[in-house]
């Protein structure tokens, strides 16, 4: 790296011809105020730390960091402020030689949060330590744990031990994680779903009567007294375990007014009353266990007549994952007197492989709304881990962390240059930084094309076309991006696995598009083979089948290679015996494993079809892709 070479020259007393980069070129988040001074330093001198209650403008989290030629000094009003000053200093030290500077840095947002989805996939416990450590370095002060959802519960409750699903945290294990986070000034806030997303409760036989409807067990019935008995016990245990002053009670995407009692209430008093009374009761219950309630905003915002039921000291977490979201709901809630947390997402819905490019815009635009409306802060959510490669999260996460601390202070390309320097130890050309941004355009929506090639092939066979047709131009673009990243790999000094996971993501997308082209061609060849065999044109039928065999044979080794690398990536942070690793559906790694099986079965069937036609039999296209 040029800066390191420069340090070497300096050690021999020569004049350094290359000026070190401006400190903002490698700091994440970018400091809000930085003054560069004469001279350079490697920050290895004495570090003085001082708590000064008089520095009122620093608030509870700000710091001043002076990096002089021989010594550094961090001043803050609190231990937390000193911690953030230290994080900045550590980043400067990693670079080697930097320009002397004074950084005065105060965060733009009070709550800087990331939400992790433990309910849908429990990663190895060490993963949560690893990611909290990284987030703290980027000055995140809150991590929401989405502990419950349809798929299960990631925490043991002593009152209902049957709720905890495989790999769940015991309370003792959770205490250790809470302490680890606290040592890094990160507060863990538990989220317990208390209305919709409730199959973690209703799928337990002895609690199934809490469901709003037997046919739709996804929501709890608000008028069933048992609902409150069970939630009360769970909240009390949660409140006792987590020292945070907040408890997030979920309440998003609920179905209501289905059971006889609820239906009658809705008919008599209207849906807003049912919604409002439930949300009010949930918030009162949270308050009764000594916590400040937080709830998702969607049901409330759909039924605006319910808003005035909700206690004004509740905090509304408003989620909207569109790139060009509206600020109106936030303005509405703020005008009603609520504290609001803005919640963008970097992975959600059916998005696959890695964070999608449009989510960078979602985070950027949400940060603007949060700041313009003086919201409590921003909670960047990361949903459904089994759909993405764990180690691809960091560019998107770092971006969200930077915006939470600094607002939108620089161009995305400048941010990515700083990220490439800090996280990968690169001296990036604009081309490399652009490729690190562009790789996110290779993420994809809709999972049958990517994780279930059997379904995809059948769709193409049945309909002749599908809502996700092959995109050979994306495969071409993917190859260009991967080419740049591959050439860069040998220069990556840190986080090599994370860099390789971005390459893997790009290769998967290129392969998926190539595979989609092949599937279309195979379907067309099978139709021809069927037609020829029916017409008694044996040779033509065999030729079409053999061409299809060639296409599948080309796919199999690439599929096997990608599947094995996905498995390695999975094993780094996820449980090797987790069924999601091998089950298809919307699981990326599992989908690839199943797709490989399908290709091999298809190959065997094609070979059998050739033999059948040779013996003057006919071929039926559908049966080959069954």
Residues that bind Zn ion (CB under 5 A): 212, 221, 223, 259, 262
Q: Could you give phi then psi for residue 249, rounded to 5 degrees? A: -100, 15
Q: Could you give phi then psi for residue 495, rounded to 5 degrees? A: 55, 50
Q: Could you give phi then psi for residue 250, rounded to 5 degrees? A: 65, -120
**Nearest distance from C-beta of residue 215 to Zn ion, angstroms:** 13
Secondary structure of residue 238 in the 3-state scheme: helix
Q: Could you give phi then psi for residue 321, rounded to 5 degrees? A: -105, 10
Residues 6+ apart with CB under 8 A from 359: 321, 323, 344, 345, 346, 347, 348, 351, 396, 440
Give yes or no for a contact between 132 and 38, defined as CB atoms under 8 angstroms apart.
no
Secondary structure of residue 99 in the 3-state scheme: strand
The smaller minimum CB distance to Zn ion, of residues 116 and 259, is found at 259
- Sheet with 148-149, strands from edge to edge, namely 148-149, 152-155, 164-169
**Nearest distance from C-beta of residue 148 to Zn ion, angstroms:** 20
The smaller minimum CB distance to Zn ion, of residues 255 and 408, is found at 255
Give yes or no for a contact between 325 and 365, defined as CB atoms under 8 angstroms apart.
yes
The smaller minimum CB distance to Zn ion, of residues 263 and 495, is found at 263
**Nearest distance from C-beta of residue 309 to Zn ion, angstroms:** 17
Q: Could you give phi then psi for residue 21, rounded to 5 degrees? A: -65, 155
The smaller minimum CB distance to Zn ion, of residues 217 and 329, is found at 217
**Nearest distance from C-beta of residue 227 to Zn ion, angstroms:** 9
**Nearest distance from C-beta of residue 274 to Zn ion, angstroms:** 9
Reported for 608-614, long-range contacts at CB under 8 A and 24+ positions apart, including other chains, are 609/529, 609/545, 610/542, 610/545, 610/546, 610/549, 613/529, 613/533, 613/538, 613/541, 613/542, 613/545, 614/538, 614/542
Maximum Cα interatomic distance, the chain, rounded to a whole number of Å: 94
**Nearest distance from C-beta of residue 223 to Zn ion, angstroms:** 5
The smaller minimum CB distance to Zn ion, of residues 281 and 537, is found at 281
Give yes or no for a contact between 329 and 284, defined as CB atoms under 8 angstroms apart.
no
Name 103's bridge partners: 34, 65
**Nearest distance from C-beta of residue 222 to Zn ion, angstroms:** 6
**Nearest distance from C-beta of residue 200 to Zn ion, angstroms:** 18
The smaller minimum CB distance to Zn ion, of residues 144 and 195, is found at 195
**Nearest distance from C-beta of residue 450 to Zn ion, angstroms:** 38
**Nearest distance from C-beta of residue 119 to Zn ion, angstroms:** 23
Total count of residues recorded for the chain: 626
Give yes or no for a contact between 574 and 581, defined as CB atoms under 8 angstroms apart.
yes
**Nearest distance from C-beta of residue 257 to Zn ion, angstroms:** 7
The smaller minimum CB distance to Zn ion, of residues 206 and 260, is found at 260
Residues 6+ apart with CB under 8 A from 202: 208, 210, 211, 217, 218, 220
The smaller minimum CB distance to Zn ion, of residues 173 and 277, is found at 277
Question: Of the candidates 169, 196, 192, 193, which has an alpha carbon nearest to the alpha carbon of residue 181?
Answer: 169
The smaller minimum CB distance to Zn ion, of residues 262 and 435, is found at 262
Query: Whole-angstrom distance between the N-terminal and C-terminal Cα of the chain?
Result: 55
Element (H, E) at 231: helix 225-241
The smaller minimum CB distance to Zn ion, of residues 212 and 298, is found at 212
The smaller minimum CB distance to Zn ion, of residues 90 and 229, is found at 229
């Amino acid at each position: 790296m040029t800066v390191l070479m420069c340090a070497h020259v300096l050690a021999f007393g020569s004049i350094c011809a290359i000026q070190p980069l401006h400190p903002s070129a490698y700091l994440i988040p970018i400091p809000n105020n930085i003054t560069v001074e004469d001279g350079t330093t490697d920050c290895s001198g004495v570090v003085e730390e001082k708590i000064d209650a008089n520095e009122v403008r620093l608030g509870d989290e700000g710091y001043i960091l002076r990096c002089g030629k021989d010594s550094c000094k961090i001043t803050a009003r609190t231990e937390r402020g000193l911690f953030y000053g230290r994080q900045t200093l550590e980043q400067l030290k990693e670079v080697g030689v930097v320009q002397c500077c004074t950084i005065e840095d105060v965060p733009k947002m009070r709550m800087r949060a990331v939400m992790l989805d433990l309910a849908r996939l429990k990663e190895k416990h060490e993963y949560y330590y690893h990611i909290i450590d990284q987030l703290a370095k980027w000055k995140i002060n809150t991590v929401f744990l989405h502990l419950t959802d349809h798929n299960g519960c990631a925490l043991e409750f002593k009152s209902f031990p049957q709720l905890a699903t495989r790999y769940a945290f015991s309370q003792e294990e959770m205490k250790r994680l809470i302490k680890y986070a606290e040592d890094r000034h990160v507060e863990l806030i538990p989220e317990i779903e208390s209305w919709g997303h409730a199959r973690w409760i209703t799928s337990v036989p002895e609690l199934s009567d809490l469901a709003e409807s037997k046919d739709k067990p996804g929501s709890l019935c608000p008028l069933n007294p048992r609902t409150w008995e069970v939630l009360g016990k769970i909240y009390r245990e949660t409140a006792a375990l987590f020292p945070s002053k907040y408890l997030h009670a979920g309440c998003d995407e609920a179905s209501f007014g289905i059971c006889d009692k609820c239906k009658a209430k809705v008919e008599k008093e209207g849906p807003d009353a049912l919604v409002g009374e439930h949300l009010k009761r949930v918030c009162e219950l949270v308050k009764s266990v000594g916590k400040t309630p937080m709830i998702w905003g969607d049901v409330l915002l759909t039924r605006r007549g319910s808003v005035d039921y909700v206690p004004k000291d509740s905090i509304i977490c408003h989620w909207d994952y569109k790139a060009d979201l509206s600020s109106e709901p936030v303005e509405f809630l703020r005008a009603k007197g609520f504290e609001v947390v803005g919640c963008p997402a970097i992975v959600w819905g059916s998005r696959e492989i890695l964070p999608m490019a449009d989510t960078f815009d979602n985070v950027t635009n949400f940060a603007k709304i949060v700041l313009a409306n003086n919201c409590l802060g921003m909670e960047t959510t990361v949903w459904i881990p089994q759909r993405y490669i764990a180690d691809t999260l960091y560019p998107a996460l770092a971006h969200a962390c930077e915006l939470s601390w600094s607002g939108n202070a620089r161009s995305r390309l400048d941010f990515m240059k700083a990220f490439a320097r800090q996280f990968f130890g690169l001296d990036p050309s604009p081309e490399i930084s652009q490729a690190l941004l562009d790789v996110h355009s290779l993420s994809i929506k809709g999972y049958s094309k990517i994780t279930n090639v059997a379904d995809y092939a059948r769709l193409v066979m049945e309909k002749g076309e599908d809502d996700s047709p092959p995109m050979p131009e994306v495969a071409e673009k993917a190859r260009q991006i991967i080419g740049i990243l591959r050439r860069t790999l040998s220069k990556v000094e840190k986080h090599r696995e994370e860099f390789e996971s971005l390459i893997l993501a790009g290769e998967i997308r290129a392969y998926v598009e190539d595979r989609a082209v092949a599937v279309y061609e195979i379907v067309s060849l099978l139709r021809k083979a069927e037609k020829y065999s029916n017409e008694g044109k044996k040779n033509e039928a065999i030729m079409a089948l053999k061409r299809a065999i060639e296409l599948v044979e080309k796919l199999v080794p690439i599929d096997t290679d990608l599947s094995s690398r996905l498995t390695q990536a999975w094993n780094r942070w996820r449980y090797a015996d987790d069924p999601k690793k091998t089950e298809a559906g919307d699981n990326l790694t599992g989908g690839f494993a199943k797709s490989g099986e399908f290709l091999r079965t298809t190959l065997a069937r094609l070979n059998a079809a050739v033999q059948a036609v040779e013996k003057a039999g006919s071929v039926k296209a559908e049966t080959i892709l069954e």
